[in-house]
Structure 1
Amino acid sequence: MECFFVLFLLGCGFPLIPFIQGWTYHFSQDTMSYDNAQGYCRQKYTDMVAIQNQEENRYLNENLPFSPSYYWIGIRKNRETGRWTWVGTNKALTDEAENWAKNEPNNKNGNENEDCVEMYVKRAIDTGKWNDEPCSKRKRALCFKASCHSSSCNNHGECKETINDYNCNCSDGFFGKDCEHVMTCPEIVEIDQGSVECSHVYGNFTYQSNCHFTCSDGHLLVGPEKLQCNENGDWGFPIPQCKVIQCQRPELPDNGAMNCSDDGEILAENSTCNFYCKAGFTLVGSSSVLCTTPGEWSEKSPNCEAVQCKNPGIPKYGAMACSSQGEMQSYNATCDFICTEGFSLAGESSIQCMTPGQWSAIPPKCEAIQCERPEQPENGTMKCFSDEKMLPFNSTCQFTCDEGFTIVGSYSTQCLTTGQWIESPPKCKATLCRRPEIPLNGAVSCTHSGETLPEKSTCNFMCAEGYKLIGPSSVACAGADQWTGGIPICEYMQCDSLTAPVNGLIRCKNGFSYNSTCEFSCVEGYEMIGSSELQCLSSRQWTSSVPFCKAIQCPYMPSLKNGRMVCQDGTKYESQCSFSCLKGFRLNGSPVLTCQSSGAWTSSVPTCEALQCPSLTAPEDGYMVCQNATKYKSQCSFTCLKGFKLIGSPTLSCQSSGEWTSSIPTCEAVQCNVIVAPSMGKMNCSRLDFGYGTVCKFTCEYDLSLNGTDTLECYSDGSWNTETPTCDTMKTPYDAATYLTVGITSGASVLSTASLILWLIKRMRKTAKKFTPTNSYQDLEAPGIYQNTENVDDV
């Protein structure tokens, strides 16, 4: 036979009181070994008792009947780990849950045979405690039957057993004793310029409901596309909105410009932006972009890349010198060309890299120099390198005169780099010398006039400015048209070629020839050091050396007192410095300065001025005490004269905005509550408004006694010094009759009938009060607490 019980005391068989679903305890009447006890509990109930806390342990000790053999409980030593373990959950016993009797387990002697645990129930000592025993001993089995089942907690939580009951640990999104309720989220019906579609799992707009959002054409969804109702009863994120499609203004390309159809940083759909590049840069990418759905530009913003020209290449039979190295030449770079001896330049001797990456002229070529075959002199013969009409560079021709003629000129001539013969073909004439020809770009002066000059005549040669004499400056007639030394020529003078300085430009007129000029300039942000214009002199030297371009620097900024300064790129051209003041100070001047191309900042350095609040005045009938006057964080305190109360804040502080925390308070006169004369009495007050200091005097009529002080004074806190007195008691009834008789007899003071009646009523009331019981009867209610105290034989 076995018995069971719950929180309400139950007996064997049926419970005495109906109970709800709960955890119940059961025990056997028969004793048995531990293994049999465990099998018994698992076969008939759930398992052996697993005591979870001290409260449960105490409950079992109080409600189980005493048994000399005591009770097996669900704890057993694990032989592999050596730890005491709950047999139902296979979890180790924690230190907090231990409830061993003194010197247990194993009587502290390490007895390895005592592996099972009993509970002392209603034992004289160590009652309710545990003891380890050999598992073969026979004791009552202490079992429990679980209250949780498959449908507990509505399949929305974990069922936890408790004494006489169970608890549900609800899953996310559910609540209630049996997890019967589900969390709900705010209903979502529609969104402006869009639509929403929702699906539900546990009911409309409840836990795990999903809503998808879409926007109408021309609008962009700002926020999550999908929201789910979470376990807290909210959507987790704000409801998204449909906003008009807009694009962020594109970034301005370096070394470029941009022109958009709309102003502002945010541009509407179908807005366009066009891009341009500065001189020396070419656009890489689309020159125009369009704001499209979904708020993005149709293409990426282009870049402005520096213009470069492909290296023109060294001409055959020539040489080339460029202002920069590499296969690509930068914008404004120049290349100069020369040909080897025997070849002449066909094209420009200097070309420049221009926009859009093309040279200012087609690169030149070096063509072989040829001289046209000279004419044979009359009365003479000529023998040349070949019989061709055009003779190559360095070809020579030899001249001789017929007998009886004297050669006038050179006996030979040579083809020069200019494509001309070094000497003109001679002439064969008599022994007189013919006047020498005037050299091109030169002049000649002879000692005799005429076309023929006698022997020993001399002629002097000179060249025009910019030309150099090649040959003797003076010749003499040796007879038979023979001039000593040969006739000179005037060769064109030229200075060395120039190149543009780094970060600068060069522009030359007439190349690098005599008297030509070259002008120099620097790009923006650089200043020129040296002469901006050079000229080629007759000495074949330039008037000065090539200038250079130095980066513009603005003066260094001093530190900002009571403020902060942040500069980008130091003091370079177009660098910026921003200024801000510490709290309590105001910036006086521009907050941002920019380094200009002039080397000066856009304005002077700003200053930080201390903030000042307006001056304050003491309130009428009051005082004011200030610290630090009107500076930032200064404070002013206000008090009123005695008899006045402060209306407003007692302390004002000067804020960083330059304003006080509130307006100046005022002092209002203190007034006491209005009082009136007592019944059958008189009152005389010093002031009618009952203000501070008012004094009121009280007296009673008909010789009534004054109950209380005869003088009241209004204090500075608006209260009277005491309560208003009353006129309560006549001296004696005899005195009253005497007054009445005297009044009637003498006629000096007549009491009216109404006054007498009032006095008599008042006296009766006062007399009645003496007989009123001090305590009254009250109904006493004793709430009853009814409990079932019926005893049961078996628990």
Structure 2
Amino acid sequence: PQWCYPLNMHHGEATCYSPRGGSYRSSLGTRCEFSCDRGYRLIGQRSVQCLLSRRWTGTAYCRQIRCYTLPTVMHGSYQCSAGMQLDSHCDYACLPGYHLEGDRSRMCMEDGRWSGSEPVCVDIEPPKMQCPESRERIAEPGKLTATIYWDPPRAKDSADGIIKRVTLRGPEPGSEFPEGEHVIRYTVYDQTYNRASCKFIVRVQVRRCPVLKPPQHGSLSCTSAGNNYGATCEYECDGGYERQGAPSRVCLSSRHWSGSQPTCVAMQINVDVNSAGSLLDQFYEKRRLLIISAPDPSNRYYKMQNAMLQQAACGLDLRHITIIELVGLPPHEVGRVREHKLAASIIEELRQFLLVTRSHFNMVLVDKEGVDRERYIEPVTPDELFTYVDTYLLSSQESARRELNRDMCE
């Protein structure tokens, strides 16, 4: 007979042992042991006994084994084969640009815990960037530099698209670059300080013409570097020489000079003039004049001065000094400039204009502006004369050239 109520275990089994025999499952004194199917956990008494009071000594039931819900993964996700149930496999994956660190898969175990540990998605990929293209420019006319612009590189993080910082090694866009090759480097950092770098080349080319040489008996002054595109070179002739040809030349983009090379030819002195003023005008801003006067060619001061000046012809020419001689008394008076003889009327006008007497030896030094600068009543050595000219009469340009050619006469 049934003494206690029959035991029923959902998702499990009750194994009973009765003193009356195996066919009795709920008679007085029967002992039953409980077990659960796989995937279920026993809750309550593991074994019970049917008492005289017609009740069992306890109860039990089988509860399905479930693992806790897995937390969400930042920058990733997971997918489970059977939810949170036993033996369910959950596979993890990260968003593009992120790398999974930890267990890729976890399984729900019989103790209700997940195997392994929670993985994380980390950003370890560098940003993607596109650098500006290398570029080459021609230096601007008259300059040795070029102003070069470019757009900063386009960069995007492979994970979240966010760029934290951009650094530049090299000049900023819009800077002036000198001649040569320049490397520009950019580095970008994402939020986790992964970095990507790129570089490009900036080349500046200076177009140059052949180096010009100054003409004989002349000089050359150029702008900028002297032979770069846009440079202008101006020609000047030494005192006593006149330029024939264009006063200046320009270096063209074709690497050729405009025009042709001018020449410096010896100044032509015209003595067939109507007045002393016309004669002196020919020397204005070109030559200095040393007027030597003596009452007679045999005058010892005159002979002494002539001998010294003949030995210093190079120094006189270097300092742009032309000698005018007025020697003798009328009607045998002689005036000459180099090999050119002067008319008697011109000699007279010169004497009156410069206050040069016939009665004794005397000299007058006239500068390039026609100003009477120094007078002598006795012969002077070339060194004394040259020292005075170098100290007081030379322009800054002449001084520079004088320094350059200081040993020429030696």
TM category (shorter chain) comes to: 0.3 to 0.5
Higher-helix-fraction structure: 2
Q: Which has the higher contact order (CA 8 A, sep 6+)?
A: 2
Question: Normalising by structure 1, what TM-score?
Answer: 0.23
Q: TM-score, normalised by structure 2?
A: 0.39
